[in-house]
Amino acid sequence: MPSPTPPPPDDALFMRRALDLALLGQGHTRPNPLVGCVVVGPGGTIIGEGYHQRHGGPHAEVNALASVLQPELLRQSRVFVTLEPCAHHGKTPPCADLLIAQGVPEVIVCNDDPNPLVAGKGLGKLRAAGIRVSTGLLASEGRWLNRRFFTFMEQQRPYLVLKWAESADGFMAGPHFQQVQISGPQAQLLTHQWRSEEAGILVGTRTALHDNPRLNVREWTGEQPTRLLIDKNLSLPPSHHVLDRSQPTIVYTHRERPSQPNLTYVTLPFAAPGQPPAPDLLPAILADLHQRQVQSVLVEGGPTVLGALLHLNLWDEIRVFRSPKRLERGIAAPRLGLRGWQSHEKVGPDDLFRYLNH
């Protein structure tokens, strides 16, 4: 059986440009996906481009078509878009209708949209109007770009990134959870960038109690994540940063407490004192976050939260900073070993290992 004919190199180049444009919206479009669009004129040159810049704002196709200086060329142009054009009225009109109205003869799509409001409807509308439509160009790259969106839609839960720092001898805190600065300044800066890229950031009671983290973006520009705290007995003192109401915060507990502005209490069943955590606790939290449209979560918790997620195989990425420092004793980090890591890089004095859950 002959191998499929690869796409013309220019087509892949145009789609890759659209993917690069889409990435510019990272951290600003959630819970919408990242989308880029390129308009190629009759001479094979780019005559317009755009991307979805912010949730509630114009979609990529709208921005790209609006950038074309000679709109009459649209009837002879090809449009490359990273995700199936929408066919429903949301915060903006359907992009499929716009492409039809402008007389675009051909649309090349990277990924079909898994959102039930869109899935197949946009492509069907374009084809019914006589527009040539093809899909799947650089599809794997498109899925990686929108891995948060695809996981959220297909698995009905947020995309989960587990992150921690550990010493060279495998500890993530000092004895009795004593706070120790393990990673270097470059790793801390990168962590703030990661926080700006995810919709939520999760810790457990011990991490919030002993580290008193702010869980916000300070050393990077971007939107603040929703802070997520598991505190079953509401034992965290109100003076701690995570309860200061400076940004949206959700506390998961088994006690009743009225919510306040920027501080929401969600009551869930927990195991009895001295018993292991209820096996359905974390899935219940993830289901609640899905309902709240929290599309991705950076987990910066301690060994209890991290270990539970690993045990349930509820994770998509793991990012581990390994410091050259040694602590000799303390709280052990989760044991993964180095087998199976997908990438390794130096971040200042630290080693960063990344794992993907296939």
State the 10-residue block means of pLDDT for the chain, 358 residues long.
61 97 93 96 95 94 97 97 86 87 97 87 95 97 97 96 96 86 95 96 94 93 94 94 96 94 90 61 94 97 93 95 94 81 92 92
Q: Residue 60 belongs to what H/E stretch? A: helix 60-66
Specify the CATH class of 9-151 in words: alpha beta
| Residue of 22, 51, 26, 32 whose CA lies nearest to 293 | 32
Domain over 156-356 is classified CATH 3.10.20.30: no
302 assigned binding-site residue: yes
Instruction: Tell me if 85 sits within 8 A of 121, measured CB to CB.
Output: no
Give residue 3's pLDDT.
59
215 assigned binding-site residue: yes
66 assigned binding-site residue: no
Give residue 4's pLDDT.
60
* Domain definitions of the chain by residue range: 9-151, 156-356
158 assigned binding-site residue: no
As a whole number of Å, the end-to-end CA separation of the chain is 29
Instruction: Tell me if 85 sits within 8 A of 112, measured CB to CB.
Output: no
Total-model pTM: 0.90
Give residue 219's pLDDT.
87
- The region that residue 85 occupies, defined by phi over 0 for left and psi between -120 and 50 for alpha, beta otherwise, is beta
For residue 286, what are its two tokens? Answer: 């993830």
Residue type, 11: D
110 assigned binding-site residue: no
Give residue 1's pLDDT.
45
195 assigned binding-site residue: yes
Catalytic residue among 49, 61, 84, 166: 61
Give residue 2's pLDDT.
53
Instruction: Tell me if 177 sits within 8 A of 302, measured CB to CB.
Output: yes
95 assigned binding-site residue: yes
Told to judge if 61 belongs to the known catalytic residues of this protein, a careful annotator would answer yes
